[in-house]
Structure 1
Amino acid sequence: MDYFIQNITELIKSLYVDERCVKCNNICCAKLFQQNFKNWTSGNNDIDKIIQDTQLLDHSQYARYALEWIPFDRFCNIKCIVKDEFGRVYIANWIDGRINNLDNKNKNWIRKDQNMLVVLKYFDYSKDGILRLIKKITGFYKVYGVSQDSETKNYIMVQDDTCEKCNYICNVTHFQRNFKNWTSGNDDIDRLIHNTQLSSHRNYQISKALEWIPYDRLYDIKWIAKDKVYRANWIDGYINKWDNENQNWKRKDQNILP
């Protein structure tokens, strides 16, 4: 009987140890990532390996540096904001949010910032080119993972919306976060406004940024010349700078007559 109990104890112990990471002798992020390898694939062995390598290097409880494969249907409100030398750039809301830390009790991830705004960088290059770019970008910016457009099959880099030029949250980031809240109803006009805003990193550049102004924010509209030229008072006034305390734009000259 004692021999039987000893064998059962050893079996239970071996199963428990098997769940632990060989390197840190604990149930760490790397171990949970590894156990999940069978549940996803990018469809490209090289991309899978890059993601898995970052995951196997993360022995913490917080998974701060690991990439993950993010199914495309976990994004919503996808909107194109610019096309640069690498391809198309979109913003979207990530439904699940980023991994925050390991939930040892439930053997799962605790996530934060559900529906957070992320930047989606589409790549028109070959898969080898994508791999080189992934390695380059992950050294400088917070990259959450990789995805793939379900229609075009283009691979996508999913990263935070920190300004790549300034390497911090600048005016461009604040403008960008608001793109989903307005539209002129015309893609070309939207793109023109976007481009001026995406060039306004510093406060002294804000004066060159256009914005979409709802017609009901104007009053006392009067015709002054031919060719449909009018004048009006602008209720809100023009953007002066970002107000960190209230997380909104600080404006000047309310009820201004442009």
Structure 2
Amino acid sequence: MLINSYNCDCDYECNAKRFKRNFKNWTSGNNNIDKFIQDTQLLEHNYYEVHNALEWIPYDKLYDIKYITEDNKFGKVYRANWIDGCIDIWDHENKNWGREDQNMFVILKILNNPSSITLEFINKIAVPHEIAVPHKVFGITQDPETKNYMMVSNINKCGICYATCNSMCFQRNFENWTSGNNDIDKFIQDIQLLDHDNANEALEWISYDRLYNVKYIAEDNKFGKVYRANWIDGYIY
């Protein structure tokens, strides 16, 4: 375990001092990661609020971990729920960190090369791209089975909208349906991920049992037989 020798010059009890006192109580098992997390914590000189500090997040504090997509930079990307939620302020009454958003949704991205972790690296990964991704990185965890270190990031706000938009809501529901065909699944998902405000423009997978009174009506040159039906649920709007 690495203990940072930095000494704070604040003439009051700041968050950096509180974080430093706790260094002895956790380790990632990797000195580079320990130092990186500690360095972000030692920049927190506010009295109450915590803004940009990362933390070591034990893997057993995450649950319902599920694969959601493939990322060009990191490979497989997972989503999970974080039991504790993120650090918000110092709780003077309980002498501990006050937290918010318990059981929040988070994104997990694998770090293939822990020695390359820098603030510049964090800034590069916390930008929006083809999936709705976060801007806020909370910390780092490690899968005890694969030994992979993983970045834990915010999934509550879209990297494009900076809000919980339709794209985010659609993404959270990906695990609950499938067409049985990967190409069709991806096509529907890609359209849903482009929908940040007008849900009626997104496609969805419609279970056949949600249709009734299905009847043949005509022959089409492109598709062959064409049917009409009633749709129980109606479209999303």
Task: Give the TM-score band, short-chain normalised.
Answer: 0.7 to 0.9
The structural deviation recorded for 1:85 is: 1.2
Mapped pair 1:198 → 2:193: yes
**What residue number does 1:142 align with?**
136
- Contact conserved, 1:77 with 1:93, CA < 8 A, in 2? yes
Mapped pair 1:46 → 2:43: no
Residue 30 of structure 1, aligned match among 7, 11, 16: 16
Residue 79 of structure 2, aligned match among 79, 88, 91: 91
- Contact conserved, 2:36 with 2:117, CA < 8 A, in 1? no
- Contact conserved, 1:81 with 1:191, CA < 8 A, in 2? no
The structural deviation recorded for 1:233 is: 1.4
Residue 213 of structure 2, aligned match among 207, 216, 220: 220
Deviations 1:3-56 (A, max 9, x none): xxxxxxxxxxxxxxxxxx953333332222111111211222111111111111
Q: Where do 1:9-24 residues align within 5 Å?
A: 22-24=8-10
Q: Which amino acid aligns with 1:110?
A: G
**What residue number does 1:234 align with?**
231
The structural deviation recorded for 1:187 is: 8.0
The structural deviation recorded for 1:206 is: 5.9
Instruction: Work out which of the two has the higher radius of gyration on C-alpha atoms and give 1 or 2.
Output: 1
Q: Secondary structure of the residue that 1:213 maps to in structure 2?
A: coil
Mapped pair 1:68 → 2:52: no
**What residue number does 1:244 align with?**
none
Q: Which amino acid aligns with 1:218?
A: L
Give the TM-score of the pair, scaled to structure 1: 0.70
1:23 and 1:115 map into 2 onto residues whose CA distance is: 36
Q: Which amino acid aligns with 2:57?
A: I
Q: Secondary structure of the residue that 1:77 maps to in structure 2?
A: strand
**What residue number does 2:43 align with?**
57
Which structure ranks higher in relative contact order (CA pairs < 8 Å, sequence separation ≥ 6)? 2
- Contact conserved, 1:184 with 1:212, CA < 8 A, in 2? yes
Structure with more of its chain in helix, by fraction: 1
**What residue number does 2:168 align with?**
173
Going from structure 1 to structure 2, the CA distance change for 1:199 and 1:24 (only over 3 Å counts) comes to same
Structure 1, unaligned runs of 5 or more: 1-20, 240-250, 252-258
**What residue number does 1:152 align with?**
146
- Contact conserved, 1:93 with 1:118, CA < 8 A, in 2? yes
- Contact conserved, 1:80 with 1:90, CA < 8 A, in 2? yes
1:230 and 1:150 map into 2 onto residues whose CA distance is: 52
Q: Which amino acid aligns with 1:196?
A: I
Going from structure 1 to structure 2, the CA distance change for 1:221 and 1:69 (only over 3 Å counts) comes to same
Going from structure 1 to structure 2, the CA distance change for 1:194 and 1:41 (only over 3 Å counts) comes to farther
Q: Which amino acid aligns with 1:102?
A: W
Going from structure 1 to structure 2, the CA distance change for 1:201 and 1:129 (only over 3 Å counts) comes to farther
2:137 and 2:158 map into 1 onto residues whose CA distance is: 13
Q: Secondary structure of the residue that 1:238 maps to in structure 2?
A: coil
The structural deviation recorded for 1:130 is: 4.4
Identity among equivalent positions (%) equals: 54
Going from structure 1 to structure 2, the CA distance change for 1:56 and 1:130 (only over 3 Å counts) comes to closer
1:82 and 1:92 map into 2 onto residues whose CA distance is: 13
- Contact conserved, 2:200 with 2:235, CA < 8 A, in 1? no
Q: Secondary structure of the residue that 2:60 maps to in structure 1?
A: helix
- Contact conserved, 2:33 with 2:115, CA < 8 A, in 1? no
Q: Which amino acid aligns with 2:235?
A: Y
